[in-house]
Amino acid sequence: MSFNLSADSDGDDLAPMAEINVTPMVDVMLVLLIIFMVAAPMLSSGMKVDLPQAKSAEPTDPKNPIVLTIATGNKISLGADEIARTDLVPRIRAMIGTEDRVVHVRGDRTATYGDIVSVLDELALNGITRLSLIANKNGNPVEPVTP
């Protein structure tokens, strides 16, 4: 609530105020900030998969990787978006563009070996050969070294 302490010569209490009350705007912005801080980590992981264990996996630090997830039932997602198998290669090509980006493949532990290999084969046949398989090492996700 705001009020005017200045003495008006005409005594009009209903005159419009020239000051801006920013308190409601700050309240709304803080609420939006909290919502985005809570929601952002949930959006980055994409589809939930149970990664296999690999004791020899070593982490890499690639620049801006493309994350491809293959879940049980041959469900494929690119980042957080589930896509059809026919759209896979064109979407990855569009994301790679002229850059030299690595495609990280996250295969669910319960997904069939044939499903994962067929996706890798389709990517390789279309010239997408910079691939890394993601696995867990001691319960922590690790990206293995790409040749």
Q: What is the CATH number of the domain that holds 73?
A: 3.30.420.270
What residues form DSSP beta bridges with 77? Answer: 69, 82
Is 5 part of any domain?
Answer: no
Is 9 part of any domain?
Answer: no
Is 108 part of any domain?
Answer: yes
pLDDT in tens, the chain (147 residues): 555 555 555 556 777 777 788 888 999 999 999 998 888 777 665 667 777 777 766 666 567 788 889 988 888 998 888 999 899 999 999 988 888 788 889 888 888 888 889 999 999 999 888 888 887 776 655 544 444
As for how many domains the chain has, the answer is: 1
Instruction: Give the other-Cβ count within 10 Å of 80's Cβ.
Output: 13
Is 24 part of any domain?
Answer: no
Is 21 part of any domain?
Answer: no
Per-residue pLDDT at 141: 55
* Single-letter code of the amino acid located at 98: T
Query: Under DSSP, is residue 72 helix (H, G, I), strand (E, B) or coil?
Result: coil
Which residues neighbour 39 within 8 Å (Cβ) at sequence distance 6 or greater? none
Which residue range(s) make up the domain with 77? 66-142
Tokens of residue 56, six digits: 């020899």
> Distance between CA 68 and CA 54 in Å, rounded?
19
> Distance between CA 9 and CA 17 in Å, rounded?
15
Per-residue pLDDT at 140: 58
Is 76 part of any domain?
Answer: yes
Per-residue pLDDT at 3: 55
pTM: 0.56
